[in-house]
Chains A and B, each alone.
Chain A
Amino acid sequence: GQQVMQIPQYQHVQEGEDFTTYCNSSTTLSNIQWYKQRPGGHPVFLIQLVKSGEVKKQKRLTFQFGEAKKNSSLHITATQTTDVGTYFCAGRSNYGQNFVFGPGTRLSVLP
């Protein structure tokens, strides 16, 4: 079945440094969503990407969808302590209605 991987598993950065997490799917995706989960909280939607090669920005966050629609990335510029949490990608294949979540990248930001 469809598998979604994310790297790195953990990332520790100093406040102000940049951060990137990568998401790879074993199958071509119809669309991909990104979520953030704070410690003790539930996943909160960040963005959805649909088109091949799509790039979307939200303030300091930049999301990319690969040309082959099998990979995606999230880049955070100049991290802040409020960015702490686990970032998940969730991909939907062309053949299903369900989303497969990656294992997440846990970001720690040291002040």
Chain B
Amino acid sequence: GAGVSQTPSNKVTEKGKYVELRCDPISGHTALYWYRQSLGQGPEFLIYFQGTGAADDSGLPNDRFFAVRPEGSVSTLKIQRTERGDSAVYLCASSFGGANYEQFFGPGTRLTVL
């Protein structure tokens, strides 16, 4: 069956630009997580959705970062006024239920801010 997909796979942008990263979770999964991973580090939690609502957005680093999941399926992570420090791999994961279920990760979007 289809796994979690993320688009684009790579995104190169200039400092100050706006970017959108898309995540398509596994069909039927109600929970969706966004993480970012820098080289040699573990995934860093950004935001968790249960259905359409953000159940926990405590990991968003500042107000330049925003995420939506309007229909409880596809999610978009939006980054305004990108900075070089935003460069990382952005991972999306989905799970069948809440926090007691395994997370299925997508392949990630590698964001490079020049």
User: Chain A: residues with CB nearer than 8 A to chain B?
Assistant: 4, 30-31, 33, 35, 41-45, 48, 50, 88, 90, 92, 96-104
Contacts and interface: CB of A to CB of B under 8 A. Distances in A.
Given A42-B105, A42-B107, A88 B43 contact: yes
Interface of B: 33, 35, 40-45, 48, 50, 55-56, 58-59, 91, 93, 98-100, 102-108
Contacts of A97: 48, 50, 55-56, 98-99
Nearest to B98: A97
Contact of A42 (B41, B99, B108): B108
Contacts of B58: 96, 98
B42 A88 contact: yes
Given A31-B100, A43-B91, A98 B105 contact: no
Nearest to B41: A103
A44 B93 CA distance: 10
A104 B44 CA distance: 12
Contacts of B108: 42
Contacts of A96: 56, 58
Contacts of A35: 103, 105
20 contacts: A30-B99, A41-B107, A42-B106, A42-B107, A43-B43, A43-B93, A43-B105, A48-B102, A50-B100, A96-B58, A97-B48, A98-B45, A98-B48, A98-B58, A98-B59, A99-B99, A101-B43, A103-B40, A103-B41, A103-B42
Given A97-B48, A102-B42, A45 B103 contact: yes
B45 A31 contact: no
Given A43-B103, A101-B45, 11 more contacts: A33-B102, A35-B103, A43-B93, A45-B102, A88-B42, A90-B42, A90-B43, A98-B48, A98-B99, A104-B41, A104-B42
